[in-house]
Structure 1
């Protein structure tokens, strides 16, 4: 059986999920956002190694998939904020479990150090 969403065809729900949140940066962006509202520079500073072009691309894809919301304020200079949508927030428990799994894999007990973007907020 195949499934279609946003013009893409998937062979199973896991494939669809990985299409939305897979890759190096998307899970880290989502983990950084959590319940917070962050500006682009805050996200970039919290994600060592991500360049501006890649962060912009990943944010656009997450927004297109309905996982995050981008709010532009009509100010000079413009202020842009990113936050998880209600649908996106359903990923938080999954990301927590990934963090626990990663900590177990790394054989560490302290998950407050798991990702520089959050520094123990989850």
Structure 2
């Protein structure tokens, strides 16, 4: 497959492109959480171990910009922000589930308890 450009970044495979969109330490865990219900920022922050405000904000923004989740700002005092999955995000869930299952399988093979 020939290389291709997206947002001035060169990619060599579709897998590399997917991991640029949903890979990393936090994007898949965020998507995994919002697949079942709408979450507020503070709920996500509490549920993801060791994530800083900066990293959570950055990953949420990127997932919103790429169309995987929606950000809904409710005009309340104080302002309430909610995050929900989109159709595009829902399409990523089976892939994340497969990676998660394979991760558990590898952990078991390597004698790692979960």
Q: Fold match, TM over 0.5?
A: yes
Q: Distance in 2 between the 1:63 and 1:50 partners?
A: 18
Corresponding residue for 1:55? 56
CA distance in 2 between counterparts of 1:2 and 1:28 reads 29
Tell me which of the two structures has the higher relative contact order, counting C-alpha pairs closer than 8 angstroms and 6 or more residues apart. 1
CA offsets 1:42-69 (integer angstroms, 9 cap, x no match): 1011101101111001100111111111
| TM-score, L = length of structure 1 | 0.82
Secondary structure at 2:73 match in 1: strand
Decide whether the 8 Å contact of 1:35 with 1:89 is kept in 2: no
Runs (4+) of structure 1 moved beyond 2 Å? 2-9
CA displacement at 1:27 relative to structure 2: 1.0
- The 8 Å contact of residues 2 and 10 in structure 1, kept in 2 or not, is answered as yes
Q: Could you say which structure has the higher helix fraction?
A: 2
User: For residue 11 of structure 2, what is the aligned residue in structure 1?
Assistant: 10
Residue 68 of structure 1 is matched in structure 2 by: 69
Over the aligned positions, Cα root-mean-square deviation in angstroms equals 1.6
2-structure distance, mates of 1:78, 1:51: 20
Q: Which residue matches 2:44?
A: 43
> Which ranges of structure 1 fall in alignment gaps of 5 or more residues?
109-113, 115-122
Q: What is the distance in 1 between the residues matched to 2:27 and 2:38?
A: 16
Structure 1 residue 81: Cα displacement? 0.4
Q: Say how many residue pairs are matched.
A: 109
Structure 2: stretches of 5+ with no match in the other structure: none
Aligned equivalent of 1:103: 104
